[in-house]
Structure 1
Amino acid sequence: MIDSNRRARRERHGRFWFGTGLAEFLAAELKDSPERRIAAARLFAVSLIIATVSQSLHVPPLGALSLLVCLSYDAYANAGQSLAFGLRQLFYLFVTVLISVLALMLAGNDPWLMLSLSFAIMALALFHARLIAWPTGIALWYSIPVLYSPTTPDENLYHALWNIPVIGVLGLGSWTLVHLSIAPRDPRTLLIAGIADQLKAAETIFLGRLSDSEARRPRRASVKPSSIGLFGKLQTLLANSELLHVSIRRRHAAYLELLQEIDGLRQIALWLEQSLTEDYRAQPLTAEKRAVYAALQQACAILRQGFTNRQDLSDAVAALLDDEVLRRYAGTGQPTVLTAFWQALQRIAALMKRLHQPATDSDPAETETEPQTVYPAWLGYEFWQRHADSLQFGIKFSLGAILCMLIVQSLDWPDINTAIPTCLVAAQTSLGADYRLSLLRVGGAALGGACAYVYVWVFQSQFDSIIGFMLATAPFWALSAWITAGSERIAYLGRQLGFSFALFVLHDFGAVEDLFLPRDRVIGILLGLTVMGALDYALWPRRSAALARHHCIAALRTLAKLTVRLPDPGHLMSYTLPLRLAAEKDLAAAQDLLAHAVLEPDARQAGKMRERGVLRAIIRDASNLSALLLVRKRYRLLSGQQFDRFPEALQRHSRDFDAELAKTLAHTADVVAGEKAVDLYDADAIGQLLRQSYIRYHDIGSLPADLAMEWELRFLLDEQILNYLERLQIAASKSFPETSPGFTNR
């Protein structure tokens, strides 16, 4: 109760600042770091290049738009990511030019046909952007030449043919070249560093176990638990590396399997580190067990050295991991967690050897076959039904842009046409995210306008050359770059600051005289936000908490599929990996959505606050359960279990336990969705039957203490899974407190 009251007070006082005060928020978001300096330097260089070229070549209006484009992209991108992003956006730019020109040629002289066609084009562009989780560039770029001045189709055709390509060359070209020139980071180096960190974590845990039983134990090095999406980040680095390095592209499947094996090793090692009690750690290690731990620790060190130096040290690891050393400890037929470590490192060493061998085009492991379909999926009804939310997203924000264009034209006030791109830029994943971005957009525009007035009153009269212009505007570009280089919680404020300032000082060639521009820009933004806010709230409102609930439901249903027993380790890639990535993606999305839910109109109601607390608990417990299910799956496959040789009764109990886990998770998802009443499944009873079967079959009571403890760890893993299942069921029962009946035991 105390924690919930404290959380409620924190949400009330820090509603707009992510649970903190304004001073704490700014101190955290404006904090200096070496990475931020590099990112800010890149954005500063891009801004200065665009401003200088814009004034030198007399293309001022396009300079501000180019600046907005480049400030909207990731300043921390590595070399591969920068190149991929630049090429992809350039392709989309050409597509936008083609679509804009065709639309103007076909319907430019018919305003109502042009409106209808533009609505459909922008809706599909926004739908596509939402579908692939990519910036809404096509819709935004289309609106600039077509909707800004719909009464002048001939001029618009000229703008579509020349303005958009100029924006691409000036904005995208400058951004890509700067990122490839200023402290470029090779994604392969980052990938290898990530692999080395994973191996270092496992090595640290093994080294800690070797020192646990010493009389004067040294202070243990802490190992951070895996964060949500860590594996996905490494997979992204792999994709970026493939763009720059052909050798990695040819070995995609091997590298992906390697990432999975190393991540699995780290997960099991972390689970062991967190599960061992202090009393057990203090027990002396037998000589056989110490030899196994020493071999594991040395193998991790050798593999880490090999990956860091790009050397094939697999033979040294194979010689170190002699199966006879493991047999002296575990014997035969006794599954142990150390056996799982042993086999995992042997598999990693085999993959290292494979990566250093010449690639062959006929290697079956490197080729993937796509299922053949008679027609594209998007021609079927199921595709549109499954992505109905994304379609509604496109329709709603496209309609907002059309309405703003009509308002601007009816008022005959072209200087407030910033309302049109505001509707497209404010297109976010949820209502709360829309509101937060709107606040940042208004704040950035106002701050940029204030900077523009300071420039006019203080600096402009002091300089009359291009060098003077660069010196006078440099502090403002630096301020915008520094804020933009922050996290996504504040970066958009910097982007709007830079755009507002650029729109003012680059509006025309030479000195600035139109002092009304910042005022009209802010008015246009407020108009766009007002129209979009009303439309967003009235038409298919996408509540952050409701979307977070849907992602939680999807994650729970995905986790239910992770309980299936796999026949061999080869299925870890084909079956487990897609499910694991899907669950991580849903849990990460739900977590982000809850951060925006506090801004929605009824966020401070007791019921909404309680709902957010329940969803946070579900996300936390589901994430922990996901890690345990992955550990359990690898333990089964690599620990030396001979499942097909077990008695029929033991195999049946194991299958029943898996089925009960899957049924419980699926039912919990239905409860969170409000589709079923709370029904507490009793998987613990089946788990006890499975445990007794293992005890009788392996005669655990007569085993040495170390091997008996191995079985206690195996049983502890199941108990931890059951504990998280129970916590998820309790949280699910609170997700609809006004309608949920009491528990029913089964």
Structure 2
Amino acid sequence: MTRLLPFLHDELAPFPGRMNVALRAIAASAIVIVASMTLEVPYLAVSLIVVFYATQANVVVTRLIALLFLAGVTLAVGCTVLVLKLTFDVPLLRIVFASAIFFCCLYAMRIFQFGIVFFVAALVTIYVQTFVDVTEDAESIVRATLWVWAAVGYPIAVTLIINSLLLPAEPRDQMRRLMVAKLAVVQACLEAWLDGSTARAPLTAHDVESTTTALQKLLRFSGMRGKLDALAQSRDLATVTAVSNLYVAASNLRPSVAPSAPLAARGRALRDACAVLARAIENDEPFAVVAPGAPQSDPNAASTQAAEPPWALVAMNRALLDLAACMTAQTVDMHAPPRQPVLAKDAWTNPVYGQFALKTLLAVLVCYLFYNSADWQGVHTVMLTCLVVAQPGLGASSRRSVLRFWGAVGGSLLALFVVVFVLPQIDSIAALLVAVLPVLFAGAWIAAGSERISYAGVQLMFTFSLAFLEQFAPTFDLTEIRDRMVGIFLGIAVATFVQITLWPEGEAALLRRRLSASLASIAKLLAPGDAQRETSAVAHARIAAWAALSDCEGLLLRVALEPTWREGEEERVTLLANSVLAAARELLLAADALRSASDAAGAALPARLDERMRDFASRAASAIAEYARGLAEPAPSASAPRLPGVIEDRAGESERGAELLAEAERVRRAVSSLPDWVGDAAASPLALQAGAHHD
């Protein structure tokens, strides 16, 4: 309970955009309820779940999910009608054909980027089999199947209209608001530095990671919107890169005593330039003001003043200068955000995909045999549960199972309360909406949260709707609520047993490999290279590294939920992975700080110190790369690096040299914080299964 309450507090707390998503979902749901009840369109619960799935954070994702849903249900209905036409009189052949389609859909769900199309197709294919067990009338079965398409199709149209006209969330507007908010944080950091205040908490590596990845996602969605030309998209990319660089530099701005008058003037100039940039972003105008923090002809030149500016100020100035130069050059020659491949590289060689499809099919068939043998049609949700909780990786499956169970419990209890106490008072469609919409809003609010809780909101709404809204007249049959809960519980039990015992797909080894790749990319950033290396190339590599660490964080959350037969091993792997991830975040920030400090020193750096710094950077990069190679081994052999400092005595060094040595010491501490990871249960069956085939 001590962990549950803080978790719920964090996950249910409001954040910018959450109310917008919930209101759009409720508006579309209200229209769908009225239309389905008035026109007697069946499968209202299915229509509502389509609304919830399609209503996303912005218009681009909403349209993409909606169209994929429509494509998936069209594919499923077409295949199902064809199977029924050919095999209706031969039950065994019908099951074989449906199983083959189901298997192909599950395989395609794993290998294609848009796997939701095939997930919907598999869901409808297996759901329609329950129609055949209820009636032998072929015409009514075909009509019921076609009504599934209608129940999915028209809510998609309603959702698209609502999301385009009512409180539309454009990804580019979201991106601009986020950049303005982050620039305000940068200005606050500069204010704290100018005042010499230590009251403000410094920005953490996690803050930098979340900001960088969020901006990149919104930039990609903005490009998918297709409303801007190549030049405008290039300007957006340059602006996002500049804001990310400013935020990184602000995280490295150390509080100290109040700066001298010349340094304070530079700090105020940069603060004002950030304010100008924020106004330009708000007004959607090009940034045309050059920051006066350094001479425009040579922004890297050493200061002639007694006190040199901190390298973080120099890095901020360079970011603003580069942005102004890009706006002036009117160029589109920049690094575009990476695009994910449509088809997995190992689509036809990785046996994990086929094993996943086969064991999920086996679980579904076992449940199908059970509820037909028991002649208990009310628990047909047992089959759907096996598919819904089947996720890549045991951790993801465990999380989906828990969310489905508790979401179903919440939805069933709410349905029970409404049926017993509220339903007798309902005598109109308006009263029905008053009774239903608060429950749907609660589900929408939860569904708009993070992936750690969002599916529980969808399941709460769906279970409530199945029990309360499936009939066009009041129903007081409480056995349906009981049967669906039993079906969900049994489905989770069967699916979990099959997932664990047949080709368990653990992700612990995959997590190590991802962490290894992230550390290797950080080592390349740290390694000394061409001094004239493009700033945009460095920024692109840094952004890619932050994105990789963000992916590792999501993977770590799933690994922590993996069931294991070895007591204590889950905690050990999670603890080690969390330590590596924290060290990698700090290392990436420190490596970028060292590079920026070295660039700020430029030619003013003494040859002796420059040689020492290059040697240190080379040894640090080699140590990180060696650790990464050990981490990627099937039986990990990554020993904590022991990296000596650059120099013991800093006396006599210039201010810039001392600053550079301090950043080198920060890198050394980050490298030394990498933990020993030698011979753990990556050799366990779950980890070896994933490590042998995954990447």
- Matched residue, 2:600: 639
Q: Which of the numbers 657, 672, 675 marks the counterpart of 1:711? A: 657
| Correspondence 1:483-498 to 2 at 5 A | 483-498=446-461
Looking at structure 2, the residues matched to 480 and 664 of structure 1 have their Cα atoms a distance apart, in angstroms, of 49
Q: Which of the numbers 489, 507, 515 marks the counterpart of 1:526? A: 489
How far has the Cα of 1:709 moved from its partner?
1.8
In structure 2, the gaps of 5 or more residues are 685-695
Deviation by residue 1:450-497 (Cα, 9 ceiling, x = unmatched): 333333333333334333333343343344334434444433333222
- Matched residue, 1:179: 163
Q: Is 2:49–2:462's contact at 8 Å kept on the other side of the alignment?
A: yes
Looking at structure 2, the residues matched to 467 and 32 of structure 1 have their Cα atoms a distance apart, in angstroms, of 28
| Correspondence 1:342-381 to 2 at 5 A | 342-353=317-328, 364-365=333-334
How far has the Cα of 1:259 moved from its partner?
1.6
Q: Is 1:483–1:494's contact at 8 Å kept on the other side of the alignment?
A: yes
How far has the Cα of 1:536 moved from its partner?
0.8
Looking at structure 1, the residues matched to 344 and 391 of structure 2 have their Cα atoms a distance apart, in angstroms, of 26
Matched, 1:443 2:406: yes
TM-score by length of 1: 0.78
How far has the Cα of 1:535 moved from its partner?
0.7
The code of the aligned residue for 1:627 comes to: L
| Correspondence 1:361-440 to 2 at 5 A | 364-365=333-334, 384-385=348-349, 389-390=352-353, 392-440=355-403
- Matched residue, 1:71: 52
Q: Is 1:202–1:269's contact at 8 Å kept on the other side of the alignment?
A: yes
Matched, 1:508 2:453: no
- Matched residue, 2:178: 194
| Correspondence 1:556-567 to 2 at 5 A | 556-567=519-530
Q: Which of the numbers 655, 661, 672 marks the counterpart of 2:631? A: 672
Q: Which of the numbers 644, 669, 677 marks the counterpart of 1:732? A: 677
How far has the Cα of 1:269 moved from its partner?
2.7
- Matched residue, 1:260: 241
- Matched residue, 1:742: none
Deviation by residue 1:161-212 (Cα, 9 ceiling, x = unmatched): 4422431322x23333333344333332221222223333333333333333
Cα pair distance change 1:319/1:578, threshold 3 Å = closer
Q: Is 1:318–1:346's contact at 8 Å kept on the other side of the alignment?
A: no
In structure 1, the gaps of 5 or more residues are 1-13, 15-19, 213-217, 740-746
- Matched residue, 1:6: none
Looking at structure 1, the residues matched to 338 and 250 of structure 2 have their Cα atoms a distance apart, in angstroms, of 34
Matched, 1:630 2:592: yes
- Matched residue, 2:276: 302
Q: Is 1:335–1:640's contact at 8 Å kept on the other side of the alignment?
A: no
How far has the Cα of 1:619 moved from its partner?
1.1
The code of the aligned residue for 1:54 comes to: S
Percent sequence identity over aligned pairs: 25
Residue aligned with 2:209, SS: coil
Q: Is 2:371–2:377's contact at 8 Å kept on the other side of the alignment?
A: yes
Cα pair distance change 1:45/1:721, threshold 3 Å = same
How far has the Cα of 1:43 moved from its partner?
2.8
Looking at structure 2, the residues matched to 330 and 91 of structure 1 have their Cα atoms a distance apart, in angstroms, of 65
Looking at structure 2, the residues matched to 239 and 141 of structure 1 have their Cα atoms a distance apart, in angstroms, of 30
Residue aligned with 1:272, SS: coil
TM-score by length of 2: 0.83
Q: Is 2:403–2:453's contact at 8 Å kept on the other side of the alignment?
A: yes
How far has the Cα of 1:600 moved from its partner?
4.6
Looking at structure 1, the residues matched to 339 and 118 of structure 2 have their Cα atoms a distance apart, in angstroms, of 28
Residue aligned with 1:64, SS: helix
Matched, 1:82 2:82: no
Looking at structure 1, the residues matched to 114 and 455 of structure 2 have their Cα atoms a distance apart, in angstroms, of 21
Matched, 1:55 2:37: yes
Looking at structure 2, the residues matched to 377 and 471 of structure 1 have their Cα atoms a distance apart, in angstroms, of 44
Q: Is 1:587–1:619's contact at 8 Å kept on the other side of the alignment?
A: yes
Cα pair distance change 1:253/1:467, threshold 3 Å = same
| Correspondence 1:95-494 to 2 at 5 A | 95-101=75-81, 110-128=93-111, 131=113, 137-144=119-126, 146-149=128-131, 157-170=142-155, 172-212=156-196, 221-222=200-201, 224-225=203-204, 226-244=207-225, 246-247=227-228, 250-273=231-254, 281-282=256-257, 285=260, 287-315=261-289, 317=291, 322-323=296-297, 329-330=303-304, 337=311, 338-353=313-328, 364-365=333-334, 384-385=348-349, 389-390=352-353, 392-494=355-457
Q: Which of the numbers 644, 655, 667 marks the counterpart of 1:721? A: 667
Cα pair distance change 1:394/1:734, threshold 3 Å = same
Looking at structure 1, the residues matched to 203 and 338 of structure 2 have their Cα atoms a distance apart, in angstroms, of 38
Q: Is 1:100–1:146's contact at 8 Å kept on the other side of the alignment?
A: yes
Q: Is 2:290–2:320's contact at 8 Å kept on the other side of the alignment?
A: no
How far has the Cα of 1:520 moved from its partner?
1.5
How far has the Cα of 1:343 moved from its partner?
2.2
Cα pair distance change 1:736/1:559, threshold 3 Å = farther
The code of the aligned residue for 1:179 comes to: N
Looking at structure 2, the residues matched to 367 and 513 of structure 1 have their Cα atoms a distance apart, in angstroms, of 58
Q: Is 2:391–2:397's contact at 8 Å kept on the other side of the alignment?
A: yes
Higher mean C-alpha displacement, 51-60 vs 483-492:
483-492
Deviation by residue 1:474-526 (Cα, 9 ceiling, x = unmatched): 34334433443444443333322221121122323212154321122112112
Residue aligned with 1:310, SS: coil
Cα pair distance change 1:147/1:232, threshold 3 Å = farther
- Matched residue, 2:579: 617
How far has the Cα of 1:611 moved from its partner?
3.1
- Matched residue, 1:9: none
Q: Is 2:246–2:316's contact at 8 Å kept on the other side of the alignment?
A: yes
The code of the aligned residue for 2:41 comes to: V
The code of the aligned residue for 2:103 comes to: A
Deviation by residue 1:636-682 (Cα, 9 ceiling, x = unmatched): 5x536369x997x9887666544433332232223334546455655
How far has the Cα of 1:538 moved from its partner?
0.7
Cα pair distance change 1:654/1:607, threshold 3 Å = same
The code of the aligned residue for 2:550 comes to: A
How far has the Cα of 1:236 moved from its partner?
1.9
RMSD value over aligned CA atoms? 4.1
The code of the aligned residue for 2:180 comes to: A
Cα pair distance change 1:323/1:616, threshold 3 Å = same
Deviation by residue 1:289-310 (Cα, 9 ceiling, x = unmatched): 3443333233222222222223
Q: Is 1:336–1:711's contact at 8 Å kept on the other side of the alignment?
A: no
Q: How many residues align?
A: 673
The code of the aligned residue for 2:124 comes to: Y
Looking at structure 2, the residues matched to 633 and 103 of structure 1 have their Cα atoms a distance apart, in angstroms, of 63
- Matched residue, 1:684: 644
Looking at structure 2, the residues matched to 32 and 269 of structure 1 have their Cα atoms a distance apart, in angstroms, of 27
Matched, 1:499 2:453: no
